[in-house]
Structures are given as C-alpha cells and as structure tokens.
Amino acid sequence: MRDENRHVLTQRLTWLTHSQNLEWSLFLFYSPSDRDAYLRPRVGYQVDDHLSVEAGGNLFFGAQEETFFGQFEDNNNLYLGVRYGF
C-alpha cells in the first residue's frame, strides 16, 4: 500500500574547473517514502565563445516498479550534445 503523501528531497551539486570552462553537475531527486531516485549527471565544456559540448544522462532507481521513479527504471539513457552559437 502506498503512502498518501509522497516526500521528495532534491540536491544540485555543481563544480566549475579549468577557468570555469568545464562544468560538472549532478542533480538528484530522492524519495524516502517511495525509496526511489532520479539522477541527472552532466558535464559540459565551453570550447570557445561559440562552441560548447556536453554529455549527460538520466538514471532512474526504484525498489519497486510501482513507484514514481521506479516505473522508469528501464528508461535510463545517456546523451551527447554540441551547440554552436553565432
């Protein structure tokens, strides 16, 4: 039986390195009531004033398939991106 109320804790960690051109980021959603979580890791690099690249992912964890994030456990994915602005 599920709780009537759902609790979610969030945390964002960001670390800038290499003269603030490299950004490491982790965004976490955690539900202690459902015992499930969602992680969004990301790393991005600003090559120059116009070009940036990034990589990241969407990772779901859950003790049961019926929980909010647990139902997406098979939908984990990784991505790469390139952005050019002029």
Tokens 């139902």 map to which residue? Answer: 71
- Of the two residues 81 and 66, the one the predictor is more confident about is 81
Mean pLDDT score across all residues of the chain: 92
Which one, of 58, 54, 85, 50, lies nearest residue 74 by Cα? 58
User: Token digits for 54?
Assistant: 């990034």
Q: CA 40, CA 30: separation in Å to the nearest integer?
A: 12
pTM (two decimals): 0.81
8 Å CB contact between 23 and 13:
no
pLDDT at 4 over 60: yes
In the structure, what pLDDT confidence band is assigned to residue 3 with cuts at 50, 70 and 90? low
pLDDT tens-digit readout, 20-69? 999 999 999 999 988 899 999 999 999 999 999 999 999 999 878 888 88
